[in-house]
Amino acid sequence: MAPATRVTTSFDNAAQVLLPPETGLRYLRTTRAGELALDPGGVTVTDDGRIEALEPTADADVHVDATGCALLPGLVDCHTHLPFAGWRAQEHEQKVTGVPYEEISRKGGGIASSARALRETPDDEVLAQATQLAGEMLALGTTAFECKSGYGLSREGELRSLKLARGLDAHVPQTTTRTGLLAHAVPSGYTADTWMDEVEAMLPEAAEHADTLDIFVESIAFGLEHLDRMGTLAAAHKLRLRAHVEQFSTMRSVPIALKHDARSLDHLSAIHPDDIGPLAQSETAAVLLPGAEFMGAEATAPARTLIDAGAIVVLATDANPGTSPIFSLPLIVGLAVRRYGLSTREALLAVTLNAAYVLERSDQLGSIEPGKQADLVLLDGPAEQVAYRLGRNPVAATFVAGQPVYVRPDAEWRIAPR
């Protein structure tokens, strides 16, 4: 849902404007990130919220004084598990102090605990929590994000989750998308095989609420044959395939996912070296989740090797109440720069254009170019500070379709009528 705007806006005198090397790109392979410009400039936005020109305009209705600021495209979080209910802070403390996961799980923790919380929480409370978190994300520069089901763990629960995600779209200024993570954990009373039968049965209805299917491929969840089946189901329903793969174990999911032309493969901390080349040469994006790796003390994905091999590398929060209760893309950028050895341009490309590509929105979002929706983030300093001042929020103001949807109090003076 984009708010209506009725004024033209000119962003004046920015110290840096992040621009792609050419217009009309669906994605940019990360090897080319160095071609992104971060030069001084301005931007003019039309009264219907589109980018009109890559220069300021004197007679615009509203002027944004961007002196000293970096102007970026709105950040895109292409992997979140919103909406969910409640938190699992106690479980996090148990985990980091050495309680084995099996014991946490036996006591009702893990995904089952989030499934129970979702089941017991009324719709309006689930939406209220998700809306509040979307507000936090706006203040952190996120103007588009993905929602996933996956805590339903029953046919009714998954469908309810997707409908709640659709309901959330009406409550928040951001662009949202819906992914049916219909194979997240094997619900009790099912085997992985019989649950996939249930997925197949719910799909005609689920497909009305989602544009993408997702599956958690792991020794404790679903196997390669289930990934193969999900790929076939996605194609049959004209949905895109994404998958959580190679997070803890090297499963060799990549060749199967590539066969099904997956839009992205997410996690990849344990990817087999032989699978890096084929993934990097494909149009399947490598979505890396350094927040989940950090919070779970997991292996670090071979980001540099993927980039050097030509991959479309993307970063996201994996925001969820269990393994990554992180909603800050600036923090994710900082973690990626430090832990993966990414440059600022590589990391920013991974949370803008390439993330929009994963959500199939790069025709309208993800870069500053004429004709695109004017989703913009004004930082209070140069872009290099995002990673450097780790953990600090550098966002002075966030704009959706040209309209300010978050303005930090100390930046209010920057936005003024002519």
User: Measured from the CB atom, is 15 or 319 closer to Zn ion?
Assistant: 319
CB of 288 to Zn ion, least distance (A): 12
Region 295-354 residues binding Zn ion, contact defined as CB under 5 A: 318
CB of 317 to Zn ion, least distance (A): 9
User: Measured from the CB atom, is 10 or 179 closer to Zn ion?
Assistant: 179
Q: Residue 368 carries which DSSP code? A: -
Q: One-letter amino acid identity for 127?
A: L
Q: Residue 159 carries which DSSP code? A: H
CA distance 367 to 381: 19
CB of 101 to Zn ion, least distance (A): 17
Q: Residue 179 carries which DSSP code? A: E
**Position 52 contacts Zn ion (CB under 5 A):** no
User: Measured from the CB atom, is 12 or 318 closer to Zn ion?
Assistant: 318
Taking alpha carbons only, the member of 128, 129, 149, 145 closest to residue 87 is 129
CB of 263 to Zn ion, least distance (A): 15
Chain residue at closest Cβ approach to Zn ion: 318
User: Measured from the CB atom, is 318 or 380 closer to Zn ion?
Assistant: 318
User: Measured from the CB atom, is 12 or 77 closer to Zn ion?
Assistant: 77
CB 183 within 8 A of CB 195: yes
Q: Burial letters for 76-103: b for 16+ Cβ neighbours within 10 Å, e otherwise? A: bbbbbbbbbbbebeebbebbeeeeeeee
DSSP E strands, 205-250: 212-215, 240-245
Residues 6+ apart with CB under 8 A from 128: none
CB of 104 to Zn ion, least distance (A): 18
User: Measured from the CB atom, is 5 or 212 closer to Zn ion?
Assistant: 212
- Give the distance, in angstroms, between the CA of residue 188 and the centroid of all CA atoms in the same chain: 29
Total residues contacting Zn ion (rule CB under 5 A)? 1
CB of 362 to Zn ion, least distance (A): 21
Q: Residue 87 carries which DSSP code? A: -
CA distance 215 to 236: 16
CB of 268 to Zn ion, least distance (A): 12
User: Measured from the CB atom, is 253 or 373 closer to Zn ion?
Assistant: 253
CA distance 314 to 358: 8
Extract the tokens encoding 375: 């989703």
Contacts with Zn ion, residue ranges (CB under 5 A): 318
